[in-house]
Amino acid sequence: MSLIKELTKGFIKENPVFIMALGLCPALAVSNSIENAIGMGGAATFVLLCSNILISLLKNFIPPKIRIPCYIVVIASFVTIVDMTMNAYLPDLHRNLGIFIPLIVVNCVILGRAEAFASRNSVLKSIFDGIGMGIGFTIALVAVAFFRELLGAGQLMGIQIFPNNYQPILVAILAPGAFLTLGLLMGLINLFKKPETD
Amino acid sequence: MGNIFTLAISAIFINNFVLTRFLGLCPYIGVSKKLDQALGMGMAVIFVMSMASTITWMIHNYLLIPFDLVYLQTIAFILTIATLVQFVEMVIQKMAPSLYKSLGVFLPLITTNCAVLGVSIININESLTFIESILHGIFAGIGFTVVLIIMAGLRERLDKSPVPESMKDLPISFILAGCMALAFLGFAGFNI
Amino acid sequence: MTYYIKLGVILFMIAAIASGVLAFVNNFTKPIIEENQRQMEIEARRTVLPQAKTFEYVEDNLPYYRGYDEEGQLVGYTFMAVGAGYSGDIQTMVGLTADYKIFSISVLIQTETPGLGANCTRPEFTNQFSGKEVDELYIDVDSGDIDNITGATITARALTNSVKKASDIIIEQTKDLSDNTKHDYSKDKETA
């Protein structure tokens, strides 16, 4: 597969959230505003990229029997670096994302790509795969956040879009709204996906 | 005694790990298709969550804090959980091979269950005592299992319902989860 | 046997290198994080009690700062009120005048729902506290004078109650002290 394909496959076709149903916890938890969604997407992409690179570099060095714990140490290290750096330089975002920053380490997307791709492919390919999947993940989060923030608060990125007397659909920004929005979006994507597989 | 009751109601209903805190979603969607599978998974998760709460609490308070290594919390916790799950896997393989077969790949996936790492971190963040942490782990696991079993029961029925093609499987499951979350939202703000 | 030792050694090496890197980054970021926190609190203190030119720290059950003006007269107290909101703790800096009226509050940390509970930081809500007696600190739903935030009762109530509770403690801690009025500048470590 050409490198560009490696990059773009994560956007829609193999989108980690909508198609592969990975990384669901942050997809629902931090999609209550676009700003949080982008922040989480960026953090996860960074970790995904770094861990993909390092694991691809070490793929011949790590014995298969202990590969999962090794991947975990690598991923957890990058997550901790992101955690500390965000706490120092972006404290508000750090507070908003809260417990979901350390939870990036169990984001199935990252461990999944390490196991399925980075451990079997070259560093260059892993880079493109990491960036692509990360962007796909971010796209999914932003898509859900778009609807939740717009309907639930009448805002996008904190800017009032709907007129002030708009009565927000509160449930959109609360827990149930997250599930409903994701379900509807998934259904919508399935609707457009069907003709392809015929 | 009242304190334990509060902790239980809070962990199972008011702050349900799946429907309120958004933790444990991947297995929630993945293993909730069959009722007996869900029950087996739930039991395993309760066990792992309580053991994880115990061990991670001790690691944090007896190792990380005294040696000023709190920044290693994420690594230490997740490695502990991975080891624990490996151990549980071996035990189940020996003692209940049929359960081991039916859970399949989902058993090692308990490692990546955000609920397990989540409860460990929450115990520390909310400064729970040792006993409170263990209980929290147990009750949070129970909350997860309750929701998982309800979901499995509903999805078994859903298979026989006329669902539009594009909504089949995942999308309709999320809608269902959303309705359940709506119900659990009613518990919010309980002052006990 | 040596195979397993080799596995252990490799895992240990990777973990050791990881820990080393993290220790390095930690050394770098920890002071910044602590400084951010300190700065935020200094700013907040000045905001909620602007009449005070110097602050003196007092260690107690609920630690607080005494604020003095240029002539060394006690103008009031500043302290943190913490309450459990809808999705996490709400930390509010409170400025109490020497005659125990709320001068001003400033919400420092909250992770409430954006567009709902998060609006508790807005002046429309926080300005209501200014000038209130501590006994008046209840939201209107609880028969008080503070207007509730529609759709975010839990947040409003948690914040209001935490401010009242903390203020009560401060009053209790300071009402009996007789050396309140004059401030000895020679003992100063921090100037506003």
Give residue C88's domain range: 48-184
Residue B6 has pLDDT above 60, yes or no: yes
Q: What are the pLDDT digits (tens) for B33-52?
A: 788 888 888 888 999 999 99
| B123 in Cβ contact with B56 (< 8 Å) | yes
- The residues near A197 (Cβ < 8 Å, ≥ 6 apart) are none
Please report which confidence band the pLDDT of residue B118 belongs to, taking 50, 70 and 90 as the band edges. very high
Neighbours of chain C (3+ CB pairs under 8 A): A, B
Q: What percent of chain A has pLDDT over 70?
A: 97
Question: Which residue ranges make up each domain of chain A?
Answer: 3-197
Q: What are the pLDDT digits (tens) for A56-65?
A: 998 888 888 7
Residue B192 belongs to a domain = no
Residue A193 has pLDDT above 80, yes or no: no
Query: Which residue in the block uniquely carries the two structure tokens 């989060």?
Result: A141
Burial of A123 (0-12, 13-18, 19+ CB in 10 A): middle
Residue B190 belongs to a domain = no
Query: Which residue in the block uniquely carries the two structure tokens 């080891």?
Result: B83
**Predicted confidence pLDDT, tens digits, chain C (192 residues):** 787 788 888 888 888 898 899 999 999 899 999 999 888 888 889 989 998 888 888 888 888 999 988 888 889 999 999 988 777 788 999 999 988 899 999 998 887 776 678 888 888 888 989 988 888 888 888 888 888 887 788 888 889 999 999 999 998 888 876 555 555 555 555 544
Residue B191 belongs to a domain = no
Interatomic CA distance for residues B125 and B131, integer angstroms: 15
Please report which confidence band the pLDDT of residue A121 belongs to, taking 50, 70 and 90 as the band edges. confident
Identify residue B16 by its one-letter amino acid code: N
How many A×C Cβ pairs under 8 Å? 71
- The residues near C25 (Cβ < 8 Å, ≥ 6 apart) are A80, A81, A84, A85
In chain C, whose CA is at the least distance from the CA of B71?
A: C26
Residue B95 has pLDDT above 60, yes or no: yes
Q: Are strands A159-160 and A155-156 parallel, antiparallel or unpaired?
A: antiparallel
In chain B, whose CA is at the least distance from the CA of C153?
A: B189
Shortest Cα distance, chain B CAs vs residue A76, angstroms = 5
Q: pTM of the prediction? A: 0.83
Shortest Cα distance, chain A CAs vs residue C28, angstroms = 9
Q: What is the per-residue pLDDT for C115?
A: 67
Interatomic CA distance for residues A96 and A79, integer angstroms: 16
Backbone angles phi, psi at C141, to 5 degrees: -65, -25
Q: What is the per-residue pLDDT for A198?
A: 42
**Of all helices (H) and strands (E), which one includes residue C55?**
strand C54-58
Is the four-CA dihedral A55, B120, A37, C19 of positive or negative sign?
negative
Residue A23 has pLDDT above 70, yes or no: yes
Token pair listed for A13: 């076709």
Running DSSP on this structure, what letter comes out for residue B63? I
User: Smallest Cβ distance to B117: which of A22, A103, A171?
Assistant: A103
Shortest Cα distance, chain B CAs vs residue C111, angstroms = 13
User: Smallest Cβ distance to A83: which of B74, B82, B172?
Assistant: B74
Give residue B75's domain range: 2-185
Q: What are the pLDDT digits (tens) for B138-150?
A: 999 999 999 999 9
Shortest Cα distance, chain A CAs vs residue B188, angstroms = 11
Query: Which residue in the block uniquely carries the two structure tokens 């009031």?
Result: C76
User: Smallest Cβ distance to C18: which of B75, B188, B189?
Assistant: B75
Q: What is the per-residue pLDDT for B192?
A: 55
Q: Lowest-pLDDT range, B74-88, B114-128, B137-151, C172-186?
A: C172-186
User: Smallest Cβ distance to B72: which of C19, C86, C153?
Assistant: C19
What's the total number of domains in chain B? 1
In chain C, whose CA is at the least distance from the CA of A74?
A: C18
Interatomic CA distance for residues B178 and B175, integer angstroms: 5
- ipTM value for the complex: 0.84
Token pair listed for A61: 């060095």
What's the total number of domains in chain C? 1
Q: What is the per-residue pLDDT for C180?
A: 52
